Amino acid sequence: MSKKLGLYIHIPFCSKKCPYCDFFSKCKDDKEIEIYSNELLKSIKYWSNNTDRAITSIYFGGGTPNILGIDNLCKVLSEIYKNFTVDKNAEITTELNPTNSNFIEFKKLFDAGFNRLSFGMQSINDDELKILNREHKSENVKVVIEKARNAGFKNISLDLMLGIPKQTKSSLTKSIKFCKDCHVEHISAYILKVEENTPFYKNQRVLNIPDSDTQADLYLLACQELEKAGYYQYEISNFSKRGFESKHNLTYWECEEYIGIGPSAHSFYKGKRFYYPRSFKDFYNNKITADGLGGDENEYIMLNLRLTKGINFKDFEKRFSKKFNSNIINKARTYEKNGFISFTESGMHLTKKGFLVSNYIIADLI
């Protein structure tokens, strides 16, 4: 087992709830934010006393981490440094909304040790941002990127949403061109998934959400345009300039271990999976729910097939001390004939066409 260990910190607050979002987050509440910040510090202490490995990546996600306040975020990171051993090359990311952060705030984050920012841009078209009920406008994105660059950030990621109502091939191409012109290092391009219990779910008929064929067209267009713009695809939904793959997210997909702190945060540590329920109270009471053993062969295959490099048979053999299952290879050969899977000398991987139906193929293989 490799020595990688990711640390995820969940910040469950947003200034308002986006109508498509099912993440565990609550609208800004100053009193709760204060309590939560203190509880986070306690939880960091708890986990540092129960962890004997160095942290190789840290990721603040949400929610909207900046709602906690930049000083609070820096304080939480400083507590992590005080309590854990953090690898000197650790990637330290925080998600941010591209609203109104100023230069001084970016400088504080940079000086505190954050070295990567991930902005929830989604689109550069104001009519699409309006449908998503996002707080920012297209003009904000360029400004925050410039400020972040001036503060010293050399690793910036943008989220791009595919399949937004009214999105067209041309509006998506415009968003991708914007990413390219801003020279960001990384792009996460996710297809909008309409989650139950969200306003989008209730209103999906009137919203005119693109059907799965249109979504597939937009996805394939994004893959093609992003590659043309110099971003290579390394995972189903993730693209980067070479050397700027998200180290933290690779920890998940390569079936390495991580600890998640905060309500709804999941962990995989010492071979076990567990999580905090979606409840502030449970988190404050350190109520952790067991979720069985993790990291078995099937899970390893399922996660690695999300990556464009796919499964390397030698790595599999090394990890599990056995040959890769020939029944799976035989099944995969039938998908190869239809262009969904490709074999190389060292292993096999899903093709772009395969990524579109990855859940189905992976479930069938394992």
Residue 18 makes contact with ligand SF4 by CB under 6 A: yes
Only one of the segments 59-67, 276-284, 308-316, 346-354 lies at the binding site for ligand SF4 (rule: CB under 6 A); that segment is: 59-67
Dihedral in degrees, nearest 10, Cα atoms 302, 307, 308, 313: -60
Helices (H), the chain: 30-49, 70-83, 103-112, 126-131, 138-151, 169-181, 199-202, 204-207, 212-228, 247-253, 280-284, 297-304, 313-320, 326-337, 352-356, 358-365
Residue 123 makes contact with ligand SF4 by CB under 6 A: no
Quick one: which of 14, 70, 261, 356 contacts ligand SF4 (CB under 6 A)? 14
For residues 160 and 150, what is the distance between their CA atoms, to the nearest angstrom?
23
Nearer CB in complex with ligand SF4: 238/304: 238
Sign of CA dihedral 290, 295, 298, 302: positive
Q: How far is the CB of 269 from ligand SF4 (least distance, A)?
A: 25
Asked if 252 and 265 count as a contact pair (C-beta separation under 8 A), the reply is no
Using the CB atoms, write b or e for 162-196: b if 16+ within 10 Å: bbbbebeeebbeebbebbbebebbbbbbbbbeeee
3-class DSSP assignment, residue 8: strand
Residue 120 makes contact with ligand SF4 by CB under 6 A: yes
Residue 8 tokens read as 């995820």
Quick one: which of 62, 260, 262, 347 contacts ligand SF4 (CB under 6 A)? 62
Nearer CB in complex with ligand SF4: 17/147: 17
Quick one: which of 7, 25, 164, 218 contacts ligand SF4 (CB under 6 A)? 25
Among all chains, which residue has been given the structure tokens 């400004």? 143
Helices (H) and strands (E) in the chain, counts: 16, 17
Residues present in the chain in total: 366
Residue 21 makes contact with ligand SF4 by CB under 6 A: yes
Q: How far is the CB of 73 from ligand SF4 (least distance, A)?
A: 16
Residue 17 makes contact with ligand SF4 by CB under 6 A: yes
Q: How far is the CB of 25 from ligand SF4 (least distance, A)?
A: 5
Q: How far is the CB of 70 from ligand SF4 (least distance, A)?
A: 17
Binding track over 65-104 against ligand SF4, x by CB under 6 A:
--------------------------------x-------
Nearer CB in complex with ligand SF4: 56/93: 93
Residue 28 makes contact with ligand SF4 by CB under 6 A: no
Nearer CB in complex with ligand SF4: 63/262: 63
Quick one: which of 43, 64, 138, 167 contacts ligand SF4 (CB under 6 A)? 64
Residues that bind ligand SF4 (CB under 6 A): 14, 17-18, 21, 23, 25, 62-64, 97, 120
